[in-house]
Structure 1
Amino acid sequence: MKASETKKTTVAPAKAGAHHTLFHLVPHSGDGRLLPQARPWFSYPSCVKSCRSFILSWLPVFLFLLAFPALAAETAWQDNDRVAVRIISATQNVAEDTLTLGLDVQLKGNWHSYWRSPGQSGLPPQIDWQGSQNVQSIDILYPWPERKTILGIENFLYEKAVVYPLMLQVNNSAEPVQLHLKLALLTCAEICVPNDFVFQLTLPAGPPAESAHAPTLKNALARVPPTENNTAIDLDITRASLSPSLPGLVLAVAGKNIPPTLQALVETPLALSFNPAQVITTTADSATVHLTLTDAAELQSLQKTTEATITLYGSEAETFRAREQQVAVGAADPSVSSAPLPETSAPTPFILILVFAFLGGLILNVMPCVLPVISLKILSIVKHSDYGPAVIRRSFLITAAGIVASFLVLAAAMIVVRQLGHTVGWGIQFQEPVFIAALAVLISLFAANMFGLLHMGLPQNLEQKLSDSSQGKSNLAYFLQGAFATLMATPCSAPFLGTAASFALVASIPHILLIFICMGVGLATPYVLLAWQPQWLRFLPKPGQWMGVLRIILGVALLATVAWLVFVLSGQVDEMFWQGLAACLVVVWLLLMLRKKLPPLFATLAGVMAGLVCAAALVMTAYAPVPTSHLATSSVGTPSGALVWQVFDEQDIATLVGQGKTVFVDVTARWCLTCLYNKRTVLENEVVSAALSQPPVVLMKADWTMPSPAIAGYLRRHGRAGIPFNIVYGPAAPQGVPLPELLTNGAVLQALEQAQKQP
């Protein structure tokens, strides 16, 4: 072909019967001469041959990818709607006598699994490797868990995700391992559901080679508390002994830069449960840690314990430090101060406690709980001024006896409840809605009596039989006046009373009885004094119209008490039920008012209807459902703004203090009048509110209106039997600065400064 010739291409039709292509290209020259035909660009035989070559070339790659999970040393996920689990390995081959594997657990929603000592409920994971080849033993290890109280039950658990390391001991490191492992894993949320899984994993023998899961397992092992001390941990329990004052243990810990958030978990042969640790004292290289029993009734079991496994843990500068240690439990050491309470074995402090009990009971007489009761008593005496000194003396002495006897009943109830292992405390009967409703009905009837709508007394025949004099009321009526005074005193706390009641919480039975007798004598002192000097009543005005005015004033005070009780009930039951009780009380009053204007028969019918309404109100309250939450958040209005309260969570306190925050905790309840007094007079004070509103201060409110094991345990750990209880934590006071029952502006400001001051 000449250079001047131009090469062209013509599309030629395909030959007949050529089904494998529609056309092929035929090149030709510019003068019409055909050039040699090119090979068709597509051919069926060549396509088949090319595909076969492609498959054969890439088949090894496909097989490698299919085998990748085995080389990655993991099993497939097994999951359900609660949890997903697989087994992972830190190595791809069997090259050593000990292999590190792990249970990779991914928990869904609110489900959680448990530590080796789950707490008061739950079960740890259980594994079974029978049927495995070249496996001598497998030990499951446990990273440090979260400590949480769920529905009043303390647990040690894992949420969201956890890797349980498995230390596998092989028989022969030159042979492969065929693992056949059965796993029983308990998961819990609102309910607990067991899960059973079966895993198969083969690890070939070969040179050491880390898998992609090696970093994950390394991190999991770092969270497992070691059993031996080292310079990186530097924590050592030098002594563990029984507490000399509270049911629990005292630990002497040595180490450098001991974290103020140091905690301890105690594992005993009898599976005793302990509350979170309190770091009582710290120095540069030591600390004293106090652990109280969750259930004080287990004290005898603790006294029989001779050894325990104690795990210390804490965080400092975002570095986790932990140490597991076997210790011997020694007898109580009186020289060790384990709690801010006097020791029961020392006679002088106990005498001082009795003095506190007497003074606390005496001060209760001027508290808003009891003052109306004394006024009613004196009003009754003034109304019957013609009584002789003997009758007046007898009435006051019997009332005083009723007070002391009622305190003995409270002491006996406290002893019985404590022996049964339940929570005890001052005023906890106000946590029962039925008790609140019954008291509201009773006081409402007392108020009706003050307004002349109802005469409250014993049947005339019974009253005459119980009375030893033709003058005055019956002895039983006087006695019940004392019991009523005691009943009304329980929602109040007074200076000295909290210390005495807290001491009684953990004291022996004889000490409890003596403390409560002194409380009763203190409350009964005004009655005893008037019985001793009845002529002092001569200074009161003579009976006259002023008594009617005083009765109205006292009636209004009693109605205010009823309104307060309904307010308390509104935090304990659903809205429909406390409003129903209020409506029933209004109906009762309307019936009593109508009764005064009706003929005798209809008046009696109205009285019966009023009684039925009262009974219906109590039954309705008894079956009222409890709200799921009572006081999630709260604001205390002040001239400078509002105080925003967080829900109390004891576990958050140490974290916040570690961040440099100051935490002010207020344990309160709707039924605690002293708490309301502190709120109105101190916490709402402009100066105090401004100090509490500063950014470093975090406010926590613990509402004890209804029973709460978490709050009750918190009070016990601080040696308190009742409320109010206020305490301030801070960088300079990680163990807290407790405040007195009756707050003052100066006390709160001083505690804030003390807690915030850098050591």
Structure 2
Amino acid sequence: MKKLIKNTLRTMLLLHCAMTFALTEDNYVSISLITSQTQVVAGQTITVGVVQDITPNWHVYWINPGDSGEATAIEWSGLDDLSASAIQWPIPHKIPFGPLTNYGYENQVILLQQLTLPDTLPDGPLALVADISLLVCEDICLPEFHQATLNLNSGQASHPELIEHARLTLPVQQDWAASYSTQGDQVVLEVAYDAALLPLEQMTDVELYFTERGVLNHSASATTMHDSRLWHISQPIGDIPAQEVPISDVVIVFQDPSGQRNGIKLTASHQVARTASQQTSFLYAIGLALLGGIILNVMPCVFPVLALKAMNLAHMHNQTARQAILHGWAYTAGILLSFLIIALLLMVLKSFGAQIGWGFQLQNPVFVMFLIYLLTLVGLNLAGFFEVNSGLTHVGADLANKTGLSGSFYTGVLATLVATPCTAPFMGVAIGYALVQPVYESIAVFLTLGFGLALPYLLLAMFPVTRSWMPRPGEWMIRFKEFLAFPMLATAAWLVWVLSIQADSFGVLAVLMGLVVVTLGIWFLKLNSFIRWTGWAFLLLAMWPFYAVYETQKADGVAVNWQPFSKTSYTAARQNDAALFVNMTAAWCITCQVNEQVALNTDDTKALFAKHNIQYLKGDWTDFDAEITQYLEKYQRNGVPIYVYYGPVDPLTGKRPEPQVLPQILTPAIIKQYVAK
């Protein structure tokens, strides 16, 4: 209801502005331009001040105008390649207007900008023109449009003292670490401040300003507390959930012991709040990582590799317990080392600003191509197409069939490589937590995840009683080994499909022809070939892809019930009162594709979404997409899939319910449970 009242008042103000502007041409703000120097040379940067003298009782607005209003905008012209920096905004004041509170200035304000002149200047005087649009308000609001000229190299006087005075009205920029979160009905800003520079016990009348509009309740007051390390500033939440604003500049205004009003400016990022029940979140994340790693073993992409090692255990049926244990730890070491390398790469790349997450290497077509070749070689080796332990094929033999400790180690590496397209339940939360923590915590979570992946095989290796459950070696093992080639080749085929989305058709053709050439090379090495009568049946079965392509072509004209995710489409959907379902997926995410077929891309779900008028956005993270990565980070996730349901806006309160994150393994019943409440 409060939001509805505010929106109504804003609309009335705009209508009032438009009507009043039609009745008067009077200006309530006069504009003049000043500069630190008027004699300039090419390539020089000068400081310019836009002086706004405001009629008493009227006001103009800060970069965030508060509940209503518009910030001043300045456009410069007069020279080609003239560059202007962002406006430097002085410390604002709160200006109440009924139930609304605006941020702005009264009487006089000087807005500073840096102008960089082009590398070449014409001879003689220069005239730089500023087109200024602003909104000035008292009981009514009026838009005003001004044009002012700054004359350079013409003998016009400079005003360095006024420029210096204007600088004193700016908040002091600090690089202190700062973050904000929502705790109950409060937005809480935490600042790692320098106590030597800012004795907080002597500060009074603290005010908090976000440059992003709507994060705070502008009419409310800030409350503060501090310890020797952190400064906590709280203010009631505004119209926009804080998690919708991943980063913002903030200005903290205070009165010092001399009575002077000062301010500091910081850049803060949104963080999920740590409540009292989350103080053990590190142990919680460790537990989720272990559980997620264990579940990862039964995901489709990992199971064939585990089956290989189970077969190796059967080979070791008559070997000593010590040999079995060594193989188990070699396999575990391969996994842990691989997870450590992935964790370090993730942290290093993110420290340089890269928007990446779990499975990031699958976003690189070159890496996908490498996996295609590797898994095809492993499959051919398992099928008995070659048994050559040298050169390139040695990789496939070691990974798939070697019985030494190095084979177990390499199988652990392979298990990690093929596991990265999968995000098992509980993994997303654990990885999302790890990537925003100190290095030692992040590495601990990733290693625990890897240990969970290795644990089932390690237990089989360490306890002889478990190996007694395995069937004894025999001819069946040869046939089973050959059968395991087909899950490997199926995975390679799926990766070709992933590559087809990332690369053009010629790139896919090149990879496929490369596989033919590699296979031909192996054939030349062994000079042996074979064919069986069942091959004719498989040749007939090979006609199936033609039918599948035909069916896909027919389906191309069928309308889909979703729209591509983007920042623009997401914002527009959130502004609509209807419910919203967001699906973040990727072609290389097996869990995502299974959920699509089983739960999302079904007639029942489409009918359910249509019945409840649900907007459906799908984000494709197959290739790098910073907007999708930022969305994932808002929900403390660093991998796909993630499914988020936003209920419809309540017509009585004007507010949307809190978003709900669905499980990572979906069924139609689960979707209906969330949507049809």
Q: TM tier, shorter chain?
A: 0.5 to 0.7
Q: Residue 35 of structure 1 corresponds to which residue in structure 2?
A: none
Q: How does 1:706-725 map to 2 (within 5 A)?
A: 706-725=623-642
| 1:610 aligned residue | none
Q: Name the TM-score, length of structure 2 as normaliser.
A: 0.59
Partner of 2:242: 289
Aligned amino acid, residue 242 of structure 2: V
Of residues 536, 551, 561 in structure 1, which corresponds to 2:491? 561
Deviations 1:727-751 (A, max 9, x none): 1224253652221222232332233
2:498 matched to 1:498? Answer: no
**Equivalent of 2:281 in 324, 344, 349:** 349
Question: Displacement, 1:425?
Answer: 1.2
Percent of aligned pairs sharing the same letter: 28
Partner of 2:578: 661
Say if 1:535 and 1:328 are closer, same or farther in 2 by CA, change over 3 A.
Answer: same
**Residue deviations 1:523-551 (CA, integer Å, cap 9, x gap):** 11112211221342333333333223322
TM-fit CA distance, 1:688: 2.0
Q: Is the 8 A contact 1:494 1:741 kept in 2?
A: yes
2:180: which partner in 1?
243
What's the counterpart of residue 596 of structure 2?
679
CA contact (8 A) 2:27 2:144 kept: no
Match of 2:325 in 1: 393
Task: Render the CA deviation track for 1:482-526: whole Å, top value 9, x for unaligned.
Answer: 111111111101111111011112111121122112111211111
Say if 2:375 is the partner of 1:443. yes
Separation of aligned partners in 1, 2:554 and 2:63: 39
Change (3 A) 1:94 1:748: closer
AA aligned to 2:488 is: L
The aligned residue for residue 156 of structure 2 is none
| CA–CA separation in structure 2 for the residues paired with 1:395 and 1:456 | 23
1:676 CA drift (Å): 0.6
User: 1:307 and 2:252 equivalent?
Assistant: yes
Give the 5 Å matches for 1:454-603: 454-455=386-387, 457=389, 473-597=403-527
What SS class does the counterpart of residue 562 from structure 2 fall into? strand
For residue 454 of structure 1, what is the amino acid of its counterpart? F
* Mapping 1:365-404, distance limit 5 Å: 365-383=297-315, 385-404=317-336
Quickly say closer, same or farther: Cα 1:245–1:353, change in 2 above 3 A: farther
Is the Cα contact below 8 Å between 2:63 and 2:72 reproduced in 1?
no
Moved more, 388-397 or 362-371: 388-397
**What amino acid maps onto 1:242 in structure 2?**
S
Aligned: 1:425 with 2:425: no
SS at match of 1:539: coil
What do the CA deviations read for 1:560-588 (whole angstroms, capped 9, x no partner)?
A: 01101111111111110112101211332
Q: Against the structure 1 CA distance between its residues 415 and 457, is the aligned structure 2 distance closer, same or farther, given a 3 Å change threshold?
A: farther
User: Which of 661, 670, 675 is the equivalent residue of 1:738?
Assistant: 661
CA distance, structure 2, for counterparts of residue 697 and residue 327 of structure 1: 45
- 3-state SS of paired residue (2:348): helix
Letter in structure 2 aligned against 1:508: P
**For 2:422, what is the secondary structure of its paired residue?**
coil
Q: 1:698 to 1:288 in 2, by over 3 A?
A: closer
Tell me, in whole angstroms, the C-alpha distance in 1 between the residues paired with 2:442 and 2:276: 11
Partner of 2:93: none
Unaligned runs of 5+ in 1: 1-89, 102-124, 130-134, 146-161, 168-178, 188-192, 202-216, 222-239, 253-260, 265-280, 296-301, 310-325, 333-337, 467-471, 600-633, 755-759
C-alpha contact (below 8 Å) 2:432/2:637 kept by paired residues: yes
Q: Deviations over 1:270-295 (max 9, x none)?
A: xxxxxxxxxxx998x88762466569
Change (3 A) 1:390 1:330: same
Structure possessing the higher relative contact order (Cα contacts under 8 Å, 6 or more residues apart): 2
Amino acid in structure 2 at the alignment position of 1:664 = F
Q: Does 1:727 find its partner at 2:644?
A: yes
Distance 2:389 2:472 in 1: 24
Say whether the 8 Å CA contact 1:362–1:525 is kept in structure 2.
yes
Q: Distance in 2 between matches of 1:591 and 1:457?
A: 14
Q: For 1:684, give the aligned amino acid.
A: N
2:182–2:188 contact (8 Å) kept in structure 1:
no
AA of the residue aligned to 1:674: T
Could you tell me the TM-score, scaled by structure 1's length? 0.53
Q: Does 1:409 align with 2:341?
A: yes
**Cα pair distance change 1:365/1:679, threshold 3 Å:** same
Q: 1:330 to 1:186 in 2, by over 3 A?
A: closer
Q: CA deviation at 1:92?
A: 14
Q: Read off the aligned partner of 1:425 and give its amino acid letter.
A: G
Structure 2 CA distance for aligned equivalents of residues 331 and 581 of structure 1 = 46
RMSD: 5.2
Verify the 8 A CA contact 1:353 1:500 in the aligned structure 2: yes
In structure 1, distance between residues paired with 2:267 and 2:628: 29
Cα distance in 1 between the residues matched to 2:473 and 2:580:
55
Which of 502-511 and 530-539 deviates more? 530-539
| Structure 2 residues without counterparts, runs of 5 or longer | 1-20, 33-44, 55-59, 65-69, 85-115, 131-140, 146-176, 191-212, 217-234, 255-261, 530-551, 651-655
Provide closer, same or farther for how the CA distance between residues 477 and 545 of structure 1 changes in structure 2, counting only shifts above 3 A. Answer: closer
> Within the alignment, does 1:751 sit opposite 2:668 as a pair?
no
